[in-house]
């Protein structure tokens, strides 16, 4: 039996190995229970202070690996464009383990790009963040931005939606599937398109509220229990077939 995590992953695996897509079963994941809408001014202030974030700036949050396929260079270039377009108080927060992650890390290149673009005062690399702090960052932020060019699923999108955080994401791979209309999509090859999406959300509170509502509804379509039920069914079929 072959299982994978999304329709897009199933399509890619089937194409790569010459399989019928029907031979692959999708076993979805879900956000952990702690990822939910939470309120707590003290907790938000503490987590901002813990990671050296400005106390009042609106946070453009990224969560994931610090690797080339995540396309963070484009997000940083879009941030540099934003600095020229608006005086709004915003800050890019890049959450990801750049010390212990050996998967094609490009932290050094990204920090050099930040310096070259002149936006060091607008960008923070937090390093690894445990879930108990990450949930507060999701609740404190203004948006999650995921510019990746390669995602098999995109769990941070699901976690953000479960926390009521509006999402903007690449229109590639599995991200449109997971969002299913509950977020804004952009061309990850266009710095201008990314900057435009960010600016729309920064300035349109009605749009943010609408995406937050739609995201909460969408996040409920993914649960660990549903994924477990599907996986049990796959195992039972395999066991029955081997007898």
SS3 string, 6-60, reads CHHHHHHHHHHHCCCHHHEEECCCCCCCCCCCCCCHHHHHHHHHHCCCCCCCEEE
Dist. CA 76–CA 114, nearest whole Å: 7
Express each pLDDT in 71-80 by its tens digit: 999 999 999 9
Which two tokens mark 135?
A: 């949930």
With 0-12 CB in 10 A as exposed, 13-18 as middle and 19+ as buried, what is 170? Answer: buried
Residue 12, CA atoms < 13 Å, CB-side half-sphere: 13
pLDDT at 149: 94
Dist. CA 80–CA 140, nearest whole Å: 22
Express each pLDDT in 172-220 by its tens digit: 999 999 999 999 999 999 999 999 999 999 999 999 999 999 999 999 9
pLDDT at 178: 96
Dist. CA 182–CA 47, nearest whole Å: 27
Which two tokens mark 55?
A: 């106390």
Express each pLDDT in 20-56 by its tens digit: 999 999 999 999 999 999 999 999 999 999 999 999 9
Q: Are strands 24-26 and 167-170 parallel, antiparallel or unpaired?
A: unpaired
Residue 58, CA atoms < 13 Å, CB-side half-sphere: 18
pLDDT at 106: 92
pLDDT at 104: 78
Express each pLDDT in 81-122 by its tens digit: 999 988 889 999 999 999 876 667 899 999 999 999 999 999
pLDDT at 242: 63
pLDDT-derived band of residue 241, with 50, 70 and 90 as boundaries?
confident
- pTM for this one? 0.93
Dist. CA 84–CA 80, nearest whole Å: 7
pLDDT at 99: 84
pLDDT-derived band of residue 243, with 50, 70 and 90 as boundaries?
low
């Amino acid at each position: 039996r072959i299982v994978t995590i999304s329709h897009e992953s199933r399509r890619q695996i089937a194409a790569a190995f010459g399989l019928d897509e029907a031979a692959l079963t999708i076993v979805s994941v879900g956000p952990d229970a702690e990822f939910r809408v939470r309120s707590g001014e003290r907790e938000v202030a503490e987590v901002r202070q813990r990671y050296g974030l400005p106390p009042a700036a609106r946070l453009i949050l990224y969560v994931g690996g610090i690797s080339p396929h995540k396309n963070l260079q484009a997000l940083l270039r879009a941030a540099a464009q934003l600095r020229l377009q608006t005086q709004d108080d915003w800050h890019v927060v890049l959450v990801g383990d750049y010390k212990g992650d050996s998967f094609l890390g490009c932290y050094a290149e990204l920090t050099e790009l930040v310096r070259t673009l002149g936006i060091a005062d607008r960008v923070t690399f937090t390093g690894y963040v445990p879930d108990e702090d990450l949930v507060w960052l999701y609740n404190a932020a203004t948006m999650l931005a995921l510019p990746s060019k390669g995602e098999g699923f995109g769990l941070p999108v699901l976690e953000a939606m479960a926390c009521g955080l509006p999402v903007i994401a690449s229109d590639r791979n599995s991200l449109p599937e997971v969002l299913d209309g509950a977020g804004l999509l952009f061309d990850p090859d266009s710095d201008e398109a990314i900057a435009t999406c960010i600016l729309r959300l920064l300035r349109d509170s009605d749009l943010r509220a609408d995406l937050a509502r739609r995201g909460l509804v969408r996040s409920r379509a993914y649960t660990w229990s549903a994924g477990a039920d599907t996986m049990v069914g796959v195992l039972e079929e395999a066991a029955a077939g081997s007898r």
